[in-house]
A and B are shown apart, each in its own frame.
Chain A
Amino acid sequence: MNNETMNQTAAARDAAQPVVEARGLDLTFQTNDGPVQALKDVNLTIDKGDFVSFIGPSGCGKTTFLRVMAALEQPTGGTITVNGMTPDEARRNRAYGYVFQAAGLYPWRTIAKNIRLPLEIMGYSRARQEERVKDVLQLVDLEGFGEKYPWQLSGGMQQRASIARALAFDADILLMDEPFGALDEIVRDHLNEQLLQLWARTNKTIGFVTHSIPEAVYLSTRIVVMSPRPGRITDVIESPLPKERPLEIRDTPEFIEIAHRVREGLRAGHSYDD
């Protein structure tokens, strides 16, 4: 609890316990067409309460890095710790909730039962399950939809339900891989706003993959710019924007300035290819 308040200042960040620490991380996939280097010498520290966005062209290893943090992929070199443990230990401690690009709700379960799935697996009591489901449905603004089946909800609502499912067991870390990629701009704005509110309320650490520069700038405290072949980090941009962010902040000079820097970073990564 103490750490959370300390994290507010950048000076205190260095003293804070890092949630994710990657040092010289390499990951090479062995494919039929030979080895593919998805991550090369990735160094990154994510502190508690950070909102870190990963942005970069397709194939630069954003998903792979997220999956390494989640222990869904094993690095072939370097070290990474999550909450001071190996990712696999962190996974077994249920340290993070993961939101995939597709909502992936079970069609045979209602929204409430979908959200209950991780709780059933983790052995929560019936009463605790009900309680958590009610809480997270409220967090993602889906009260009253618990008894609906996924197909009765719009794509945006389904995605919110899948976020609620990841929040249900109250892990400190939330990893999200292009969660709003398939949604239209207006719905996306709305969900971004809600996500920020949720982050402010829960003080979770969030890793967020996106292709959209405005989305990354609007949401993040830090933006990690990546470039492909081999996948690596080319820039890490600290955002000076305040934690309180109305949608209109996107028209301010500070916002446009950061967006510009991100775009420059992406362009630099691209020209490396030529």
Chain B
Amino acid sequence: MRSLLAVLTVVAAIVVLWYAACAPMNIKGVLTELERGGAQVVPEGAPARRDMSAFGLVAGNSFAIPATWAQERPRLPAPHQVVTELWNTTVMKKITSKRSLVYHGWVTLSATLLGFAIGTGLGILLAVGIVHSRVMDMSVMPWAIVSQTIPIIALAPMIIVVLYSVGVQGILPKAIISAYLSFFPVVVGMVKGLRSPDAMQLDLLKTYNANTNQGFWKLRLPASMPYLFASLKIGIAASLVGAIVGELPTGAVAGLGARLLAGSYYGQTVQIWSALFGAAILAGLLVGLLGLIERATLKRMGMS
């Protein structure tokens, strides 16, 4: 109950700040529109207002504040505008419609899930190799780290162009960018998890004359589960980012990334923000779902 109150307080504070920020952000555009409609604003004439501070304009035209929350193409849309747009493009639209955010969300989600599966599989394989082979530890790990220092925004177009030239199109290039971002946390977490059994536990297996295989399945793998889930949660969020970034350079027509791009072409800030929130909600759902699977798995293993 108490924590709910705390959460609500934080949300309320953010909403209040957001509304407050809308006024100075949008005031110039609003005043221009109002003046064109015949209203009395101070000072008169757009050129006179150009160099004035936004806060000064808000102070001098406080009557115009409500209008800053209701523009059609605001610089910063107000919360209720974003919520309305979200509502209209999800619940109120058929999901087959090109304007449905659910449709675009699904396009991005399918690439995200495919990329996440590839990234996780690759990450686990690499981690197993790294833990069992010193050569792999020394040769693969540095490259995995270097791979993550390259900005994905620079790399994504190259990946897409290269794949396109060999005839790979559609969902796969996006999934690969997504996998590129998500394999890394899985590698790091799994390596740590597979190495988490202490010397005593390894010695114990040695006294049973257990082989490497048995050590892996009976000790290392189960011991790594909590680490794996922590990495998967980071990995799935990274996957989503990867899929969205993968949609930008292709000028894709469908997907959350495409909505962001189209929104910025046509100055549809409300659409941009609702796509952003759509992505955030999607990420939240995915992480939450993983959390549920984690709880169920660890509970079944007797570890929680």
Contact = CB atoms under 8 A, between A and B. Distances in A.
B265 interface: no
Contacts of A97: 207
A77 B206 CA distance: 23
Interface string A88-132: 000110101110101010111110000001101110000000000
Given A91-B209, A102-B200, A121 B303 contact: no
Nearest to B214: A121
B201 interface: yes
Q: Which residue, of B203, B219, B301, B302, has the highest number of chain A Cβ atoms within 10 A?
A: B302
Contacts of B209: 91-92, 94, 121-122
Given A102-B200, A106-B219, A120-B218, A96 B207 contact: yes
A87 to B, nearest CB: 11
B150 interface: no
Interface in B3-40: none
Looking at chain A's contact residues, the main secondary structure is loop
Looking at chain B's contact residues, the main secondary structure is helix
B204 interface: yes
Interface string B196-216: 000011011111111000100
Contacts of B200: 100, 102, 104
B208 A122 contact: yes
B291 interface: no
A36 B206 CA distance: 24
B222 interface: yes
B302 A104 contact: no
Interface in B169-226: 200-201, 203-210, 214, 218-219, 222-223, 225
A71 B209 CA distance: 11
Contacts of A72: 203, 206-207
Given A106-B222, A121-B214, A94 B302 contact: no
Contact of B203 (A94, A96, A100): A100
Interface residues of A, number: 24
Given A108-B303, A110-B302, A70 B207 contact: yes
B218 A107 contact: no
A98 B204 contact: yes
B80 to A, nearest CB: 49
Contacts of B219: 106
A108 B302 contact: yes
A108 B197 CA distance: 13
A167 to B, nearest CB: 13
Contact of A108 (B201, B205, B208, B222): B222
A255 interface: no
A33 to B, nearest CB: 20
Contacts of A107: 302-303
Contacts of B222: 106, 108
B207 A91 contact: yes
A94 B209 CA distance: 7
B205 A121 contact: yes
Contacts of B203: 72, 98, 100
A237 B131 CA distance: 47
A91 B70 CA distance: 79
A104 B303 contact: no
Nearest to A166: B207
A98 B207 contact: yes
Nearest to B215: A121
Contacts of B214: 121
A42 B298 CA distance: 47
A149 interface: yes
Contact of A104 (B201, B206, B210, B301): B201
Contacts of A122: 208-209
A39 B95 CA distance: 76
A121 B210 contact: yes
B63 to A, nearest CB: 66
Interface in A202-225: none
21 contacts: A91-B207, A91-B209, A94-B208, A97-B207, A98-B207, A100-B200, A100-B203, A100-B204, A102-B200, A106-B219, A107-B302, A108-B222, A108-B225, A108-B302, A108-B303, A117-B208, A117-B218, A121-B208, A121-B218, A122-B209, A169-B208
Given A100-B204, A106-B222, A122-B208, 11 more contacts: A72-B203, A96-B207, A97-B207, A98-B204, A100-B203, A102-B200, A109-B302, A117-B218, A118-B208, A120-B218, A121-B218
Interface of A: 70-72, 91-92, 94, 96-98, 100, 102, 104, 106-110, 117-118, 120-122, 149, 169
- Smallest CB-CB A-B distances: 4 pairs: A108-B301, A149-B302, A98-B207, A121-B210
